[in-house]
Chain A
Amino acid sequence: MRAVKYGTTREYVRSMTVVLPDGEVTKFGATVSKTSSGYSLLNLIIGSEGTLGIITELTLKLLPAPQATVSLMAPFEDLAACISTVPKIFQHHFQPQALEFFEKEILVSSEKYLGKETFPKKIEGKDVGAYLLITFDGDSMDEVNNIVEKASEMLLEEGALDILVADTAPKLKDIWAARSSFLDGINEQFKLVDECDVVVPVSKIAPYVEYVSQIKGKFDFEVKYFGHAGDGNLHIYTCSNEMQKDEFRKQSDEFLSAIYKKSMEFGGQISGEHGIGFGKVHYLEQALGPVNIGLMKSIKKAFDPKQILNPGKVVVL
């Protein structure tokens, strides 16, 4: 969630000890703040999903925890108005720590799962269609309050129906609990669920979501989505109770192939967080093409010629 401001864990890994498939123990990286010393084997291992070596020790860079944190909940009439605001938050240099978007429907199932209603569904007679959830942090409450006020002004101008503020520990907990239970809410509601976590450039979130909502009507399952609006990472779920498993699988494949293809067209990637594993091997091949997949296979061969580590995952030789 906090990658918007602080980047992903990858950026905090300084060095690691790795056991290679042939039993050699080696160290990649160093505890220095910059390096220009050959290929970054460190970055090659991060995200390799255990297919190149086994990490036995990690050195991470640490940051002091922020002194003040405030979250804002901004309800909008519809998703289009909600998402189109996201790039403007960055244009104004508000530097949010986290920035999430979701529609009312998924919130309702999550609140039902938690047995607690936190978010307003109607504001001054207007139905809420979608929400932005934004967190700002800083060294003092005054500093954060100044950003919060400026950001709120902008959000209200852009069509937010109101701005609710969470600046105490219990309110912060409540406001994020509903967001954290989206997946639990989906899993409780549906027997068949498949998902993807595509990532697109922030400026492309709106047209991408529009594309997904256009094509979802062609399929028999329901499609639910929410996402880290701040980094363009979207979680899209296909869900059904009525479909036969094989038919669900077949249609899900077709749907996922289409939306992966679209994400690549928009300059995105097929996974922002979850990785490739077994499930997305053939989608990765389609997405990256023969040249890049060829290089990845060569890397796999160089590290693990006998294919003893996580065979069949990420790239298949």
Chain B
Amino acid sequence: MNILVCVKQVPDTNEIKIDPVTNTLVREGVPSIVNPFDGYALEAAARIKDNAPDTRIVVLSMGPKQAEAALRDCLAIAADKAYLASDRAFGGSDTLATSYILSRAIAKVEELEGVKFDAIFCGKQAIDGDTAQVGPELAEQLHYPQVTYGLEASLASDGLHVLREAEDGNEVIGVQLPCLVTFTKPSFDPRFPTIKRKMAARKAQITSITAADLKNLDVTRAGLKGSPTNVKRTFVPPRKQAGVIVKEQTVEASAHRLYELLNKAHVI
């Protein structure tokens, strides 16, 4: 089985710096990590490989040169090969442009690897943008069936069985290959990298993919130009204060207590 895991390097903080002119993220000077949800996607792929050792796991990221560090972390944990789609033309892409570029980059990786990926795994969302759009949009670009909020995936005779988080419990969804699955936080932690993998990852060759490498890339659909999303303003939302639950012995007493509180707050 061939699995491609899409990963994003994200700042390791909730206080993200924003470029006031372009309204995009300033990544310099902020410690970077692999987006945790992408780490869960990688772990899900690694668990499939535990049971089917001939599985090949390839990771792909789109981002600046320093995103190589995140790819090396993935190589140290479970990935067999890493690709970085990096080009000025990709900068400032919104989720639509990103999913478009990724779909073209996946075609290029498939050409270089000489295989067609059976499954594309993504994190459900990145902790910086928090949109949860790139995975589903990528599935649309590729015309693949998709399963979102995956917790675990296992290989079955008819495709993948994905345990997914639902509103009122978990459910198992069977999906035909090729498919795209986005993953959320499972009950277990992703594995630790081993020193041997870590050392190999430090020396590993990461293949770079530029806009020029992508066949039939419509540059008007990439980067800031190809991004219909217009960020008007970015800000840190104020923290909400904890609410008050009024629960007295009787409904009547609760109503009285609520009246007291509202009256005291001069709301009524």
Contacts and interface: CB of A to CB of B under 8 A. Distances in A.
Given A152-B195, A163-B195, A169 B189 contact: no
B202 A145 contact: yes
Contacts of B198: 165
B66 to A, nearest CB: 14
A166 B192 contact: yes
Nearest to B199: A149
A72 interface: yes
Nearest to A145: B202
Interface in B191-213: 192-196, 198-199, 202
Interface string A101-135: 00000000000000011100000000000000000
B235 interface: no
Contacts of A156: 195
B33 interface: yes
Contacts of A149: 195, 199
Contact of B194 (A118, A145, A162, A170): A162
> Residue among B12, B36, B73, B192 with the most chain A CB within 10 A?
B192
Interface residues of A, number: 22
A202 B33 CA distance: 37
Nearest to A73: B192
Interface string A140-170: 0000010011001000100000111111111
Interface in A232-252: none
Given A145-B202, A149-B199, A165 B188 contact: no
Contact of A174 (B33, B189, B193): B189
A301 interface: no
B253 to A, nearest CB: 38
Interface in A289-311: none
B76 interface: yes
Contacts of A116: 189
Contact of B195 (A148, A170, A171, A174): A148
A22 B201 CA distance: 66
Interface of B: 12, 33, 36, 73, 76, 188-189, 192-196, 198-199, 202
Given A148-B195, A149-B199, 9 more contacts: A118-B189, A156-B195, A162-B196, A163-B196, A164-B194, A165-B192, A165-B195, A166-B192, A171-B192
Interface of A: 72-73, 116-118, 145, 148-149, 152, 156, 162-171, 174-175
7 contacts: A162-B195, A163-B194, A165-B194, A167-B193, A169-B12, A170-B36, A174-B189
Q: What 9 pairs across the A-B complex have the smallest Cβ distances?
A: A164-B192, A163-B195, A152-B195, A165-B193, A165-B198, A162-B194, A165-B195, A164-B194, A174-B189
